[in-house]
Chains A and B, each alone.
Chain A
Amino acid sequence: MNNNYIPKVVRIERIFEEAPNVNTFYIKERLEFIPGQFLEISYFGIGESPISIASCPGEEFLRISFKRVGGLTNNLFDLKEGDSIGIRGPFGNGFPLGDLDEKDIIFIAGGMGMAPLRSLLKFIFCKKQGNISSLTLLYGARRPQDILYKKELEELGENIKVLLTVDKPEAGWQGHTGVVPKLLDKIELNPLNTRAFICGPEIMMRFTVAKLLKTGIPSSDIIFSLERYMKCGVGKCGHCYIADKFVCRDGPVFNYKQLSDLSPAEIL
């Protein structure tokens, strides 16, 4: 039995400044994973944090994008290309990829929530595009310069409708202003043929889910990735539990029906 808490030491091949205080590491590591799964990232001497895999299965590099928020993430910013970090994983269930044919798919991202959705979006865009009825991305960030993967999003072209919004617009901003759920007013929805994938701050997800439910989308077609404090990633340390589920192992991806069926009810 392997000691499943020892990270694998991997080299950072490339570092890209994605946005102010958000960096992406490119790592050469062949890993089988599903979009929506995450890694436990170690900075030795500081600790470990769950970070989503932002790359799409099959891409040359494994990518993670992280935001400077505290102890561990601050230290990741000190690392240079060629330095090492520890990784454990992939962990979690990942997004459900089945039954997408002929669906209208909406990705709804807020802030760092774009990272796991980049993986999913790329995956669906590359592998499934022909069979999908329509693709839409609604994405909000604080300021225009906080938008992640901007160049890539522009390059996606006509096959996906992209609506961007920011809280604090600046001169020259051509996108929308305001919170992400407001973008839902700007698009036509066919509630019974829609599958929504959401990731972002809890408050953004709460309002988005409420709005989607109102349009009549079945709660099982509203799929989101939940954030919880995590230590182990494998259903042992206890930290991430909601009702009788461990978010790290049974999640982080749930649909709204699963969440509202939990007892005691966990409020999003």
Chain B
Amino acid sequence: MISGEHMIDGYYNLKKEDLKNLLKAVIKDFRLISPQPANGADFLFQETEDSGKINLNYDITSNTLKEFFFPARETVFEYEKRKDGSVETVPGADTFKGETVFLGPRSCDIRAVYFQDCFFGKEPKDSLYWRKRDKSILISFACNKPPRKGCFCVYTNNSGPVLEKGEGFDLQFIDLAGFYLVEVGTGKGKNFIKKYGKLFKQSDEKILAKKSCIKESCLKHFEKEYNIMDIYEKLKDINLEKLWEELGKRCTNCGGCEFICPTCFCFYTQDIEHSKGKGERIRAWDSCIFSGYSRMAGGVNPHEKNSDRISRRFFCKLYNCYKWFGVFGCTGCGRCSFVCPVNLDMESFIASLMKTDRYQPLLKEL
């Protein structure tokens, strides 16, 4: 027990050696999804029942939390046609098994979930997303140091490295050498602490003060060159036709940047007939970079040009998303830089944008 004088609500200490015990208890009570090494060097968020497999000292996961709430492919409903001409539909089974604790996501991972919550939470709410999301508890681990050189969370919404209440976590763990400072973000987080009350000790103001020290020292690792609002304004105000054309020539339309992105939300639907008159409708990830994404009847395609689609991708993330929800559609995780074969990832894009200074007023064509 730490000095009782300046104890504060909503902050707890967890001894590092107790993390093992916590994990064991959580595995008994919940489904647990945590970062684990997979295929040699890669890390993946995966379900585990063996706390020994969890490794919280990872740089970045190859998958994101998106695939748990908005999987790459899911059944919307199954149907069966009857002899009398009618059709019966049955909602797709919920594949998200039970209350699930996500332990170990980084700040940017949480901000991506926050974004998708905004998107799929806008009326009409997306029931397929929420029936999974509602059953999950997010326990994030703040970064003491950017885990990789390619991190740029600081520039996009301050998606990291250390989060504040209301930014998406249920609980946030902050590594303070011998123990974790645990910050409660939501009612779900509070209930979790209650459940494992024996392991958590109430924290005090002196310890809480260390949170901002951690944040500040982590921020020193980022060389702040630009501000996301500059990017927003620049996109809005200048004619970037030439830049889009240049980038359009490079993009191979593989869609990798969008499939790996934790905030991208586009999907298509398709009916699959399994046997005569019986089948399912699925929904699966789609990408606005694909050339057929907006092709309509009669072959009319309002976004036929590569350059057009590239501009839509970046506009969506850095402009539309902000207009919709006051947060950007990029969390600065840097994952698109692993997959893009032609270095057209978000960080390089922002760099080229900031170098572009063709300040002409946007020519609106009538």
Q: Are A236 and B126 in contact (CB under 8 A)?
A: yes
Complex CA gap A9/B312 in Å reads 36
Cβ of A84 within 8 Å of any chain B Cβ, yes or no, is yes
Q: Are A4 and B265 in contact (CB under 8 A)?
A: no
Chain B 331-366 interface mask (CB, 8 Å, partner A; 1/0): 000000000000000000000000000000010111
Complex CA gap A227/B92 in Å reads 30
User: Which of A40-48, A52-60, A99-107, A183-191 touches B?
Assistant: A40-48
Q: A45-B271, A238-B266, A238-B286 are in contact. Are A5 and B294 (CB under 8 A)?
A: no
Cβ of B125 within 8 Å of any chain A Cβ, yes or no, is yes
Q: How many A-B residue pairs have CB under 8 A?
A: 131
Residues of A within 8 A of B286 (CB): 237-239
Chain B 74-115 interface mask (CB, 8 Å, partner A; 1/0): 001101010001111101100000000000000000000000
Complex CA gap A4/B125 in Å reads 8
Partner of A6, one of B76, B265, B294: B76
Chain A 124-156 interface mask (CB, 8 Å, partner B; 1/0): 000000000000000000000000000000000
Residues of A within 8 A of B365 (CB): 265, 267
Chain A, interface size category, equals 35 or more
Residues of B within 8 A of A263 (CB): 236, 362
Q: Are B87 and A44 in contact (CB under 8 A)?
A: yes
Cβ of B196 within 8 Å of any chain A Cβ, yes or no, is no
Partner of B128, one of A5, A229, A243: A5
**Shortest Cβ distance from B89 into A: residue:** A6
**Shortest Cβ distance from B239 into A: residue:** A264
Q: Are B269 and A84 in contact (CB under 8 A)?
A: no
**Shortest Cβ distance from A69 into B: residue:** B297
Q: Are A265 and B79 in contact (CB under 8 A)?
A: no
Partner of A241, one of B128, B236, B316: B316
Cβ of A2 within 8 Å of any chain B Cβ, yes or no, is yes
Q: Are B364 and A1 in contact (CB under 8 A)?
A: no
Q: Are B366 and A3 in contact (CB under 8 A)?
A: no
Q: Are B125 and A229 in contact (CB under 8 A)?
A: no
Chain B, interface size category, equals 35 or more
Cβ of A14 within 8 Å of any chain B Cβ, yes or no, is no
Q: Are B362 and A44 in contact (CB under 8 A)?
A: no
Cβ of A39 within 8 Å of any chain B Cβ, yes or no, is no
Cβ of B1 within 8 Å of any chain A Cβ, yes or no, is no
Residues of B within 8 A of A83 (CB): 85
**Shortest Cβ distance from B287 into A: residue:** A238
Chain A 232-253 interface mask (CB, 8 Å, partner B; 1/0): 1011111111111000000000
Residues of A within 8 A of B296 (CB): 227-229
Complex CA gap A264/B236 in Å reads 7
Q: Are B91 and A48 in contact (CB under 8 A)?
A: no
Q: Are A5 and B277 in contact (CB under 8 A)?
A: no
Cβ of A202 within 8 Å of any chain B Cβ, yes or no, is yes
Residues of B within 8 A of A228 (CB): 294, 296, 302
Q: Are A4 and B87 in contact (CB under 8 A)?
A: no
Residues of A within 8 A of B316 (CB): 241
Residues of B within 8 A of A7 (CB): 89
Residues of A within 8 A of B324 (CB): 244
**Shortest Cβ distance from B293 into A: residue:** A239
**Shortest Cβ distance from A79 into B: residue:** B85
Q: Are A45 and B364 in contact (CB under 8 A)?
A: no
Residues of A within 8 A of B283 (CB): 5, 237
Find residues 206-248 in chain B having any chain A CB closer than 8 Å to their own CB. Answer: 236
**Shortest Cβ distance from B272 into A: residue:** A45
Residues of B within 8 A of A (CB): 76-77, 79, 81, 85-89, 91-92, 119-120, 122, 124-128, 130-131, 236, 265-271, 273, 277, 279, 281, 283, 286, 288, 293-298, 300, 302, 311-312, 315-316, 319-320, 323-324, 362, 364-366
Query: Known pairs A5-B76, A84-B85, A263-B362. 14 more at Cβ < 8 A?
Result: A3-B92, A3-B128, A9-B89, A44-B279, A47-B281, A83-B85, A86-B89, A201-B300, A213-B366, A231-B269, A239-B294, A244-B323, A260-B364, A264-B311
